[in-house]
């Protein structure tokens, strides 16, 4: 690796180290992971042209998303399930393998758009990228007859000893997977998800807080161009430089967001605990908001394992302290949001490009 790429690698690793340190300082990083993962799902789907937001997804999970196309939100929700499944399987000791990628793909296309595109199965027909047919396509992946062996080669390389740093290898694996394009649908999302799974597989981060889709969305035109230049010109070096810069940018995004979320939670918890309307149950509900920043009365009852009047008083106390705000405009079946927390999370997700 030449001096310029080595410098980019060192800068990316330094940023990852800062992100790992932030993760270690968080009182419960899993509370942050809940919404971080959903933000990644939204952004990765937006890269593919699915116009939904983090707020839409959280409302959808509450079954409260009027006016938002159902298939769009099913698609994003499926991505969350796919990524959660992949990470859980790795933590169980299941190897990162083609079998695992098929399992993840089956969840990605389990319902909604793409559910008729062989979920969990490698393609048995030719696909292409751009254009209306292979003859005018921007890129034509290898024929289906060579897909199994190409994926087997990738799998062997992932598990083999290699002098390249694992972070670089994750970026190269992403390109190779995207070039093979082994599924009829969902290759881009699975390919980006593969990076997260590889970082977990190789133990690059203690907590999986790095998600690249925000940086890849910001630089989407260059992202696609860099992939194409590897395929047509063999420019792996240009891709690697671009990818490492995206890693650095994403890690710094994560550090900044985690700090702001941590500061927000500390400030608002002090407000809640000192407010005259606060109850013990209200404080308990507040502590659950990072994982559930949009709530309803039935959801609060379930989370707190308490009665309707007690949960209602907790919501009322958080509204009076200015932490929760009613967003549905209804007299019944009201929906409440932790706006200040969501504002940090939804940056760059509200309006897809």
User: How confident is the prediction for the chain on average, in pLDDT?
Assistant: 91
Residue 138 lies in a domain: yes
Q: What is the mean pLDDT of residues 70-89?
A: 90
Nearest to 314 by CA among 327, 290, 295, 333: 295
What pLDDT shows up at residue 5?
84
Cα maximum dimension of the chain: 70
Question: In whole angstroms, what is the distance from residue 141 CA to residue 154 CA?
Answer: 15
Q: Is residue 32 part of a domain?
A: yes
Let me know if 284 is exposed, middle or buried by CB neighbors in 10 A (0-12, 13-18, 19+).
middle
Indicate if 199 and 273 belong to the same structural domain.
no
Give the best-scoring range by mean pLDDT among 65-74, 203-212, 280-289: 280-289
Q: Is the pLDDT of residue 183 over 80?
A: yes
> In the structure, what pLDDT confidence band is assigned to residue 59 with cuts at 50, 70 and 90?
confident
Residue 169, domain member (yes or no): yes
| pLDDT tens digits, 214-260 | 899 999 999 999 999 999 999 999 999 999 999 999 999 988 888 88
- CA 223, distance to chain mean position in Å, is 17
Q: Residue 50's domain spans which residues?
A: 3-257
Whether residue 242 is found in the same domain as residue 271? no
CATH classification of the domain holding 279: 1.10.10.10
> What single DSSP character describes residue 92?
T
3-class DSSP state of 314: helix
Show which of 208, 229, 257 is a domain's final residue. Answer: 257
286-334, pLDDT tens digit by residue? 999 988 999 999 999 999 999 999 999 999 999 999 999 998 888 788 9
Residue 84 near residue 38 (C-beta atoms within 8 A) = no
Last residue within a domain, chosen from 257, 285, 313: 257
Residues 165 and 292 in one domain: no
- 115 shares its domain with 18: yes
Do 36 and 109 belong together in one domain? Answer: yes
As a whole number of angstroms, the distance between CA 111 and CA 78 comes to 8
Q: What order of strands is seen across the sheet that includes strand 335-337?
A: 294-296, 335-337, 325-326
Residue spans of alpha helices (H) in the chain: 3-25, 29-47, 54-61, 70-91, 98-108, 147-159, 166-180, 187-201, 213-218, 220-233, 236-274, 280-288, 297-304, 308-320, 339-345
The DSSP line for 22-79 is HHHHSS-HHHHHHHHHHHHHHHHHHHTT----HHHHHHHHTT--TTS-HHHHHHHHHH
Final residue of a domain: which of 257, 286, 306? 257
Is residue 261 pLDDT above 90, yes or no?
no
User: What is the model's pLDDT at position 102?
Assistant: 98
| pLDDT at position 69 over 60 | yes
């Amino acid at each position: 690796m030449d001096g310029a790429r080595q410098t980019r690698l060192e800068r990316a690793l330094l940023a990852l180290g800062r992100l790992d340190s932030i993760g270690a300082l968080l009182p419960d990083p899993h509370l942050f992971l809940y919404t971080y993962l959903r933000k990644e799902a939204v952004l990765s789907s937006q890269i593919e042209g699915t116009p939904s937001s983090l707020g839409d997804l959280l409302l959808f999970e509450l079954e409260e998303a009027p006016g938002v196309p159902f298939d769009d939100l099913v698609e994003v929700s499926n991505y969350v399930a796919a990524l959660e499944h992949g990470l859980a399987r790795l933590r169980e000791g299941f190897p990162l393998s083609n079998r695992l990628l098929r399992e993840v793909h089956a969840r990605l296309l389990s319902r909604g758009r793409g559910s008729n595109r062989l979920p969990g199965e490698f393609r048995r027909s030719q696909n292409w990228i751009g254009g209306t047919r292979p003859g005018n396509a921007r890129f034509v992946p290898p024929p289906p007859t060579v897909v199994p062996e190409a994926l087997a080669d990738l799998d062997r390389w992932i598990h083999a000893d290699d002098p390249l740093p694992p972070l670089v290898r994750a970026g190269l694996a992403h390109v190779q997977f995207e070039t093979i394009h082994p599924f009829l649908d969902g290759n881009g999302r699975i390919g980006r998800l593969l990076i997260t799974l590889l970082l977990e597989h190789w133990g690059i981060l203690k907590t999986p807080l790095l998600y690249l889709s925000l940086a890849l969305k910001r630089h989407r035109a260059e992202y696609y161009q860099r992939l194409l230049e590897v395929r047509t010109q063999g420019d792996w070096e240009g891709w690697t430089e671009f990818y490492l810069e995206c890693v650095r940018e994403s890690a710094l995004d994560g550090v900044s967001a985690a700090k702001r979320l941590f500061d927000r939670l500390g400030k608002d918890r002090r407000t809640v605990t000192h407010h005259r309307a606060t109850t013990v149950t209200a404080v308990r509900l507040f502590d659950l908001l990072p994982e559930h920043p949009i709530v309803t009365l039935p959801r609060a009852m379930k989370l707190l394992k308490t009665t309707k009047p007690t949960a209602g008083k907790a919501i009322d106390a958080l509204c009076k302290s200015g932490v929760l705000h009613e967003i549905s405009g209804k007299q019944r079946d009201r929906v409440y949001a932790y706006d200040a927390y969501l504002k940090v999370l939804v940056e760059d997700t509200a309006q897809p490009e």
